[in-house]
Structure 1
């Protein structure tokens, strides 16, 4: 009968035949071999001194450097005066006579000590310092974006004020024009009326004169009185003068000064503006996390029944307690060792939580998709931390710096983005790649999970795109992981729950193939975890790198040991 736990692992294969399991390793060529291919490899290049060892003892054979002066001779000594490796032929030539010589392995040990010391300095001091500097610059950029936006808004508002004043002035001048026009038109109309009256009188007098000129009646002729002498005095000619509009001169510089000017900006560089971060270590802590090897056969340590209708997510409060949530409105805290229910919290709105996470201070955070809020539970009291407009929150995680990362969709389901919050303040928005193409595929039909890796990368499971999208802390795309072929059940990759561990491994729940993918921080596939998983959704890890898997239908959380 096939062992599901064993068969689920993608074990390492021989580099030559590519089918048999690796058992041996050539330290000279750095090639993995099965026992059947050892002889074939030994005779493939007889010019080399092949050092074949068991796979578990790989890299144990020292590879002495080839002498640059005597081909094929290996250097087992080191000349400190010349600062070069030397072989026996070099020593015989007396070229290094009287020089201080050391065994090269001793020099290598000293060199390794220096490298380890410098590596630890990079890990504990220099890299964290650069992380703080990058965060500081990013915060400054975000602040500048806001302040420059406020500056543009102030200029726009001032322009609107000017427009209002100009509109008032234009309205006033046009009103004055109307008054002047009406006054002059009234004067001219009165003058016209007087002229028309005189013209009517003249016509009557003409008619009267025409009547008497055809009569012989002398009395009628002598009764006619003429007013021609009056009409000979023509009326005054009224000449109205139009007002003129004399526009003020618009001088560019003067107008600019009147409107307002920008002060000059500056960009200074302070060589001593940053100081090296002091590494924070406990007395027992080493300089860096110990390297943990993946187990060949991960195993289930314990199983916790949660009683949900459907179980969707899990988050570690500590190495002894886990929070869970499902399709209902209740979030439950369980004891890992005893499997007992310790506490229950009902969401503020009565809606189901889409995602849960635990902050550095141990508070529970959850997203309410329908209410458009992100909430935090403190001492059994629920506080609204973030309320969105035109967007709906889906996945949430708490970062090493204490920020919250939220993956969200727009109301029209056409956009998706990741937003970083410090408390209720938006600090960063991640939506597009360098080519202005969307990083994430929006869809209200799919759950999305998000986590931060130890190297501060932001990892999102994008079921709509059947991919895991990983960006660095400034939002630049690092890689997309789509799947490892062949998948366990040869079904389409369906990434849902996602988490990371102390080794910066990224662990992804593959719902269709009922397994967990393990990839490294650069997206390289390492192996599968199966152990009889059923419909895996939410994932989390504790401080000892134990994996917790929330299984949808059977409502169980499995605790799995997968590292040594």
Structure 2
């Protein structure tokens, strides 16, 4: 057994390996007995050995060696260069005028930061992840129960159908029996009448037989036979059987029985919060999971049949809804580029804006009709009809609400209204100083909700992106980045966000898309040969779809790694 590492032995000197450790060199990190201290000193005279009692080890700092001056220790730290420096470095002109700190002070600050981060990891972050894991497990258990309840409901509905079908079968069979009995009774009565006539005929024949054998002339003259009566044969009764025409069993039966709405898994990275109070989104943001590509690339181009193309919104990662200058909204396959479905507006007006709800229903703005409409199972339902306002833009939120931007009849006021169904829940119109958040007038404005629940409006007249938080408090205005692609005035149109809480807006004057972060800082442009971009949307994989106003096409662009 090695006496230096055995748990059953005391610590031994690293030099003689026999004597009990009494001293420690903080410079070389060597354990020593008192007898070996001198030998350790003489072994390397180039170092200032710091010999301390073993129990006080690590009390003397081990300064880093200088990278530029051999055998020199660094006791200072250059904040501007971000490196440790020795006395010779300080004597040179290399760090002249730089802000310097004692390296021990920098170490203490570093230790304090590490300790604070360790405390946060131990006391906040790790317990929070434990809670999240427990929450996910609970959701899975709840999902099992709810799917079980769903299956039970379907089974019960099936049993109800079986009972109704059994009732229907018994009813039809009873009607068959009733028809059969009615016809049999009629035929039996007819048979009885025929049998009675046959009996009368037999009597007539018997009477004739008796007369023929008689010599009584009087009796012969007295017989009268009504043969004519029997020559008129009875009517033939032909019963006609009812026909059973079974209803056609096809795919419509599933719709009659009942259908399932699509299931969804929504990624909401802001759904959890730390166990203790954290900084608000205004104070800081999480590092991005995905990085922007150096060169965005066009994945595919889809030809759309409009003279002027205004809007695009994602139904799924495979399908997009589009609208333009006509009264028809069109659903296209992204991969095949083919038209899948068309919906004509109820009034025949062109839709101002379109969006897809959380459960996949299409909603559209009818500005001329002052209505917000929803398409359910190919049927159009009016959700909201305004009186003194006209709707401009709409988006669906993560909570299932609808945000509608609208302007007054006199074109003076503009506001954002949150609706739950047809119920108004919130109005956003003024900042803290009572000034309007949005420009007046009915020019195009687009709206979307960011992942951090900020509400983002593209205000073309104001040439700005206006961002407020969930409560409606102004966070910032983005007024473009100079120089733009063509160095023309910023002209924001369509707006969307992605999983990283980036805000993307179309700039139709400069034929590009601006990307800014959730704090309003410009990140980059997307060009990709765009021509007058208008409507924007992103799918769950952060692909960008751009509706080009005059080119009659939608471009799918990859811009994140």
In which range does the TM-score fall when normalised by the shorter chain? 0.5 to 0.7
Aligned to 2:470: 473
The count of aligned residue pairs is 326
Separation in 2 of the partners of 1:116 and 1:45? 43
Aligned to 1:72: 103
Q: What SS does the aligned partner of 2:486 have? A: coil
Alpha-carbon distance, 1:113 to partner: 3.9
Aligned to 1:431: 429
Residue 555 of structure 1 is aligned with which of 531, 552, 556? 552
Alpha-carbon distance, 1:28 to partner: 6.7
1:124–1:504 distance in 2 versus 1, CA, 3 Å: farther
Which residues of 2 match residues 391-402 of structure 1 at below 5 A? 391-402=389-400
Aligned to 1:312: 310
Alpha-carbon distance, 1:334 to partner: 0.7
1:85–1:422 distance in 2 versus 1, CA, 3 Å: closer
Deviations 1:474-516 (A, max 9, x none): 1111111111111111111100000011111100100100111
Which residues of 2 match residues 131-280 of structure 1 at below 5 A? none
Alpha-carbon distance, 1:338 to partner: 1.0
Are 2:390 and 1:359 aligned? no
Aligned to 2:125: 117
Aligned to 1:532: 529
1:45–1:552 distance in 2 versus 1, CA, 3 Å: farther
Deviations 1:494-550 (A, max 9, x none): 000000111111001001001111111111111111111100000001111111100
- Equivalent residues of 2:408, 2:414 under 8 A apart: yes
Are 2:322 and 1:324 aligned? yes
- Equivalent residues of 2:313, 2:354 under 8 A apart: yes
1:513–1:118 distance in 2 versus 1, CA, 3 Å: farther
Are 2:460 and 1:463 aligned? yes
- Equivalent residues of 1:518, 1:527 under 8 A apart: yes
Deviations 1:96-153 (A, max 9, x none): xxxxxxxx98x6884574488269669979xxxxxxxxxxxxxxxxxxxxxxxxxxxx
Separation in 2 of the partners of 1:504 and 1:122? 25
Aligned to 1:63: none
Residue 542 of structure 1 is aligned with which of 534, 539, 543? 539
Deviations 1:295-315 (A, max 9, x none): 111111111111111110100
Separation in 2 of the partners of 1:460 and 1:395? 9
- Equivalent residues of 1:366, 1:396 under 8 A apart: yes
Aligned to 2:194: none
Which residues of 2 match residues 357-436 of structure 1 at below 5 A? 357-436=355-434
- Equivalent residues of 1:289, 1:502 under 8 A apart: no
Please, what TM-score do these two structures have when normalized by structure 1?
0.53
1:278–1:391 distance in 2 versus 1, CA, 3 Å: closer
Alpha-carbon distance, 1:72 to partner: 2.7
Alpha-carbon distance, 1:433 to partner: 1.3
Q: Which has the higher contact order (CA 8 A, sep 6+)?
A: 1
Residue 482 of structure 1 is aligned with which of 479, 482, 487? 479
Alpha-carbon distance, 1:44 to partner: 6.0
Unmatched runs of 5 consecutive residues or more in structure 1: 1-26, 32-41, 50-65, 87-103, 126-276, 281-287
Deviations 1:236-270 (A, max 9, x none): xxxxxxxxxxxxxxxxxxxxxxxxxxxxxxxxxxx
Aligned to 1:249: none
Alpha-carbon distance, 1:472 to partner: 1.0
Separation in 2 of the partners of 1:373 and 1:516? 30
Are 2:327 and 1:296 aligned? no
1:540–1:413 distance in 2 versus 1, CA, 3 Å: same
Alpha-carbon distance, 1:381 to partner: 0.5
Unmatched runs of 5 consecutive residues or more in structure 2: 1-77, 83-92, 134-269, 274-285
Q: What SS does the aligned partner of 1:465 have? A: coil
- Equivalent residues of 2:80, 2:98 under 8 A apart: no
